Amino acid sequence: MIARLRRLKSDISYLNKARTNLIDAWPESYYRKEFIELRYVNRRVFILNRPEDIQHVMVSNASNYRKSLANRQPLKPLLGEGLFVSEGKVWSRQRKIANPATHTKRLEGYAKIMIEAAGEQMAAWGESGLPREIDLTEEMTLLTSEVITRCMFSCRLGDKGVTLYEAFQEYLASHGRIHITELLGFPEWLPRLSQIKGRKAVDKFDSVIRHIIRLREQSNEQPDDLLQMLFDFQDATGQPMDDLLLRDEVATIYLAGHETTAIALGWSFYLLHRHPEVKARVLEEIEGALQGRVPCFSDLSKLPLCRAVFEESLRLYPPIHVFSRQALGEDKVGGSRVPKGSFMTIPTWVLHRHEKHWENPNDFIPDRFLPENSSKIAPYTYLPFGAGPRICLGKHFGLAEGTLFLAMFAQNFDFAVPDGRKVEAWGRMTLRPKGGMPMIVNRRD
């Protein structure tokens, strides 16, 4: 009995550490091991770093797994039953409706909007007096938030972008941690204290999401965008999408469609600052490809190093740094029996730095992702966008946006972390820099 109580105490203290900063909580040995089986209180938890096991859970036998509460619950108050959170038939139907909006044939049109919005942001920086210190993650968040709104909902956010940004920051302050209740699989109906605390932030966020929807309801125009696809949907009986579900999808596409890209851009410029030799090559590539002009969609193929820098920063700092799935029925993974209800954890942060899968795993080596080298990356060792049926809806959108913005901002500005400032990776709901990404921004000569 005493031994069990001691074990419980140590489990709870580990889980507490994990929920403060999950990155720091992964034991050193996990970066070498491929299959780890643990018991927390009454739950079986498997940590998977072996590509075949990851493929089994996320792809080949994905129907036996659902996103666990640890992945879904923290976002539910904001996103309701939107694509990121929903399961089963609702998810499958909604995914089919949204898929066409991110088809690669639409990318060229989206790229025009991205380039225009980045141009406006750069002009505003130029007018604001440089050099000055900024939080680069915040600035990139406001920009990508404007871009996703223009691309998917055909409207401009303007100042409302700041309201959404503030609402989400307030929300993260109460929901950003990974919760013990979710890790232990407490029932969904149980009220969480954080839900009560984050209510004001949800209302603030919701008011802008509903404003975006209202604008379309009151408009005579029907642009060819995702919002219109949601409006036009009718099920087999001719019923339109439920108002609340439509609201949840708008909230989901808005949030999933900008936050991760912005964080990844912040990390990309941080890594370039830390690696001047790579930065010099990046600037050379940009100069050669663009010769001082504004890029266009077709320039993307001329910027392989810019794209490789963005992909390598997604390896070292994957914004979604852990996946958690729960077994709906019994299974066998890596030769071990997986009882129904077990948690399958795929720790992207660890997988991307695993000694068996990567040479010099902690080093920033963008050349790994250059077209001539990328075939050496083994399948299911690099998962910044997930895998299987739940793979990111906006993967190509995010990669195009990340590459274009990296090229445009590096072409015009220089970014440097102020002397003496530490940038620390903080593994919360997403992998963010703790306290922001401080950068002195200056115009490049």
Binding site for ligand HEM (CB under 6 A): 67, 71, 83-84, 95, 102, 252-253, 256-257, 260-261, 264, 314, 319-320, 323, 384-386, 390, 392-394, 397-398, 402
Instruction: Calculate the CA dihedral of residues 5, 8, 10, 16 and round it to 10 degrees.
Output: -140
In whole angstroms, the minimum distance from the beta carbon of 398 to ligand HEM comes to 3
Cα torsion 81, 85, 87, 92: sign: positive
> 249 vs 331, which CB is nearer to ligand HEM?
249
CB of 264 to ligand HEM, least distance (A): 5
Residue 84 CB, nearest distance to ligand HEM (Å)?
4
Q: Which residue is nearest to ligand HEM (CB)?
A: 394
| 3-state helix/strand/coil string of 227-241 | HHHHHHCECCCCCEC
Q: Give the integer Cα–Cα distance in Å for 241 and 248.
A: 11
Q: How far is the CB of 144 from ligand HEM (least distance, A)?
A: 8
The amino acid present at 101, given as its one-letter code, is A
Minimal distance, residue 82 CB to ligand HEM, in Å: 8
Determine the Cα–Cα distance for residues 264 and 399; give it in Å rounded to an integer: 10
Written as six digits, the tokens of 164 are: 């959404």
Q: Pick between residue 333 and residue 414 the one whose CB is nearest to ligand HEM.
A: 333
The nearest distance, CB 110 to ligand HEM, in angstroms, is 9
H/E element, 45: strand 43-48
Cβ at position 32, least distance to ligand HEM in Å: 24
Least spacing, CB of residue 159 vs ligand HEM, in Å:
23
Nearer to ligand HEM, 304 or 394 (CB): 394
Separation of alpha carbons 103 and 90, rounded Å: 21
**Closest CB to ligand HEM among residues 126, 379:** 379
Q: Which is nearer to ligand HEM, 198 or 402 (CB)?
A: 402
Read off φ and ψ for residue 273, nearest 5 degrees. -60, -40
Query: Which positions ≥6 away from 180 have C-beta within 8 Å?
Result: 12, 15, 16, 19
Closer Cβ to ligand HEM, 307 or 390, answer by number: 390
Gap between the Cα atoms of 24 and 14, Å rounded: 11
Render 64-90 in DSSP notation, one character per residue.
Answer: GEEE-HHHHGGGHHHHTT-TTT--HHH
Q: Of 295 and 384, which CB lies nearer to ligand HEM in the complex structure?
A: 384
Give the residue among 141, 155, 179, 129 at the shortest CA–CA distance from 12: 179
Pick the closer one to ligand HEM by CB: 383 or 439: 383
